[in-house]
Amino acid sequence: MQRPQASLLADGRRLHLHHGPIDLVIETFGQGQSEAYRCVTQRFASVLDELVAELPLLRSRALPTTEFSGVIARRMHEAVEPYCSEFVTPMAAVAGAVADEMLSHIRQVPNIEKAYVNNGGDVAFHLTAGQSINAAMAALPEGQITVDCLDSFRGIATSGWSGRSFSLGIADSVSVVAKDAAAADVAATMIANAVKIPDHPNVTRIPANQRSPDTDLGSLEVTTHVGDLTMDEVQSALDNGMKIAQSCLKKGLIGGAVLQLKQELRQVGMPATVQTYVKSIPERELTDA
């Protein structure tokens, strides 16, 4: 079995951690960087084994009464619990929960002024007093969000039908900010799932387990292609997603969301620090403030 891999990227500033499906890019700022990278690398060594140990339960429909042993599994369950009335498994929060767990160990190191853990576009942030950091959002290809130490959210996540995870909806992307990356991860998934129009001839769906036999979605149909849509159809699909996004915002589950379908954007919530179309940044790239 492949062993966990850890190395600095070519810029000498960012740490790359890789093991199986987990691929992290981490950057810290401050005098404690070397110790932070040592600490997080040590913690990363056991992450995949911990998740695999509870994988059957993590792939099962989330129930409020379910109990998990591992700390990351518990983070996943906590994030999806508010959505248990719908079909959701803890796997909807796995990328964000891993990012949050890695960040929690970085935060224990003295003299780290700010840091981020980017798990395939689901990002957890650490900011001390006076610090901020800029991040691109997939739904804002020419814009960015500034995460400030005074903001209450510390996580960003994105979901969509053409991303690395399966989606029940047709959104090109749904980017969410929330209290942490796990909360943002599951919210982005649930909102993106809701951006849909039923039985459209230009939308192709197949059972999830035809593409991946061990998927947690079983025979639920996931989107594999979105063709031409009329403007009315685009607006209708976005309306469906916005209902869920607004409900999440009202319940305090998210700080805001940006939904995109066929170049049409919708936004709900978001702090004043969101800047739209102000700067060209490659998708999901993070930069120092």
Give the pLDDT confidence of 78-121 residue by residue, as tens digits.
Answer: 999 999 999 999 999 999 999 999 999 999 999 999 999 999 98
User: What pLDDT does 59 receive?
Assistant: 95
Q: How far is CA 54 from the centre of its chain?
A: 21
Average pLDDT over residues 9-36: 96
d(CA 36, CA 113): 11
Measured CA to CA, the distance from residue 111 to residue 125 in angstroms comes to: 15
Do residues 222 and 206 make contact, with C-beta atoms less than 8 angstroms apart? yes
pLDDT of residue 33: 95
3-state helix, strand, coil in the chain (%, to 5): 30, 30, 40
**Structural domain boundaries in the chain:** 5-278
Report the pLDDT averaged over residues 18-24.
96
Backbone angles phi, psi at 11, to 5 degrees: -75, -10
State the average pLDDT for the chain. Answer: 89
pLDDT over threshold 50, residue 285: no
CA 184 to mean position of chain CA atoms = 6
Q: How far is CA 43 from the centre of its chain?
A: 20
Q: Residue 284: its pLDDT value, please?
A: 32
- Packing angle of the helix pair 94-106, 181-194 (nearest 10 deg): 160
Question: pLDDT for 188-243, tens place per residue?
Answer: 999 999 999 989 999 999 999 998 888 998 898 999 999 999 999 999 999 999 99
Q: Which helix (H) or strand (E) holds 127?
A: strand 122-127
pLDDT given for residue 162 in this prediction: 85
Between 265 and 285, the more confident residue is 265
* Third-level CATH fold of 5-278: T-fold (3.10.520)
Inform me whether the pLDDT recorded for 288 exceeds 70: no
More confident residue, 226 or 289: 226
Residue 1 binned pLDDT confidence (cut-offs 50, 70, 90): low
SS (H, E, C) 255-286: CEEEEEECCEEEEEECCCCEECCCCCCCCCCE
Q: What is residue 46's predicted lDDT score, i.e. its pLDDT?
A: 97
Q: What pLDDT shows up at residue 273? A: 47
The pLDDT of residue 141 = 56
Determine the average pLDDT of the residues in 253-282.
Answer: 70
